[in-house]
Amino acid sequence: MAIRNGFCYHAAMIPQPLDTPEIQVAQQAAVAAGKVLQRYFGTDFQIRGKQSYNLVSDADLEAERAIVAVIRTAFPDHAILSEEEYTQTVLAEHTWVIDPLDGTNNFAHQIPQFGVSIAYLHHGSPTAGVVYDPMRDEWYLAARGQGAFHNESPIGVANHERLDQTMVGVGFYYDRGAMMEGTLLAIRDLFRQNIHGIRRFGAASIDLCWVADGKFGAFFEFELSPWDYAAAMLVVQEAGGQISTCRGEPLRMVRSSVLASNGKLHSIVRQTIEPHLPASC
């Protein structure tokens, strides 16, 4: 562990409970991105505003290029879909869906809650997923049919059967109108069912992995992009959880609402939040 500008930085320790070529490349790429993010974190860097509350930074762009360089070296013919600079199709036989910095707003405000998300899709379906938290040096990993792991330990979803037994995670899209209001109403109705609490941490890929790891019984957000959820979607599924749109439909690697749960709570959470989902979602 190193300390710079008052912040602690971890040297990446790569766990290897899964040994598929795609997992190995995804982990190498995540380490490369993590080093970029650690170098920028807590320093002055340029912010480019998509809107005043939807930010992109030099760190996003450099981390994305670091990921792509690793993937291109290993798989030069694979397609890449990413948040910032790569817009190839998920309909290709081999596609990587990447978010180099999930939680840019946290990052920009020196809040150490953000992640690197990298998924490999075969014919549009995630078969390998890595979510890396470079500040804690924590990994979430999954490969289709081989389970989900936190670092080197297998994980599974919580066993909660009722909302009054569980904590719920939530995300807010950048919309400040009907979507925001609907999310707040959904939170109100969840509280009325005596959930233990709501948590909004600002990095959906990590939030979804926390469903897989049993920390949350459920998580929802009314709009996410594929790079936000592609890797964590597989982690949730391989941990025994359920993930869908907030209307209960299958996720299709397009911008969509997302609901993840331990499975037992999926129906009741969906019934609670769906009435507040804007028609456009």
Of the candidates 136, 138, 102, the one whose C-alpha atom is nearest the C-alpha of residue 118 is: 102
pLDDT at site 159: 97
* Per-residue confidence (pLDDT) for residue 47, from 0 to 100: 61
Q: What is the pLDDT of residue 16?
A: 85
Q: What confidence score (pLDDT) does residue 12 get?
A: 72
Query: In whole angstroms, what is the distance from residue 279 CA to residue 179 CA?
Result: 10
- Are 149 and 140 within 8 A, CB to CB? yes
- 128 is written with which tokens? 């390998």
Is the CB of residue 254 less than 8 Å from the CB of residue 226?
yes
- For the chain, 281 residues long, give each residue's pLDDT as a single digit of tens: 454 445 555 667 788 889 899 999 999 999 999 999 999 898 766 665 554 444 557 888 899 999 999 999 999 999 999 876 766 667 789 999 999 999 988 998 899 999 999 999 999 999 999 999 999 999 999 999 999 999 999 999 999 999 999 999 999 877 778 889 999 999 999 999 999 999 999 999 999 999 999 999 999 999 999 999 999 999 999 999 999 999 999 999 999 999 999 999 999 999 999 999 988 76
CA distance 105 to 94: 31
Give dist(CA 115, CA 211) in Å, integer: 15
For the chain, what are the domain ranges?
2-154, 163-276
CATH dotted code for 2-154: 3.30.540.10
Q: Give the type of residue at 253.
A: M
Helices (H), the chain: 21-40, 58-74, 104-108, 178-191, 204-212, 226-238, 266-273
Q: Which helix (H) or strand (E) holds 116?
A: strand 115-122
- Report the distance separating Cα 162 and Cα 208, nearest Å: 19
Side-chain-side CA neighbours of 51 within 13 Å: the count stands at 6
**pLDDT value of position 53:** 43
Nearest to 78 by CA among 128, 14, 144, 148: 128
Rounded to an integer, what distance in angstroms lies between the CA atom of residue 61 and that of residue 64? Answer: 5
Under 8 Å between Cβ of 277 and 246: yes
What separation, in Å, do the N-terminal and C-terminal C-alpha atoms of the chain show? 43
pLDDT score of 54? 42
The dihedral through the CA atoms of 84, 98, 226, 104 has a sign that is: negative
- Which bin fits 263, alpha (ψ -120 to 50), beta or left (φ > 0)? left
Architecture of domain 163-276: 3-Layer(aba) Sandwich (3.40)
Query: With DSSP H G I counted as helix, E B as strand and the rest as coil, what are the percentages for the chain, rounded to 5?
Result: 35, 30, 40
What pLDDT was estimated at residue 239?
98
Q: What angle do CA 257, 259, 265 make, to 5 degrees?
A: 155
256-261/218-224 β-pairing: antiparallel
- The pTM score is 0.92
Neighbours of 230 (CB within 10 A): 28
pLDDT in the model for residue 4: 47
Identify residue 28 by its one-letter amino acid code: Q
Residue at 174: amino acid letter: Y
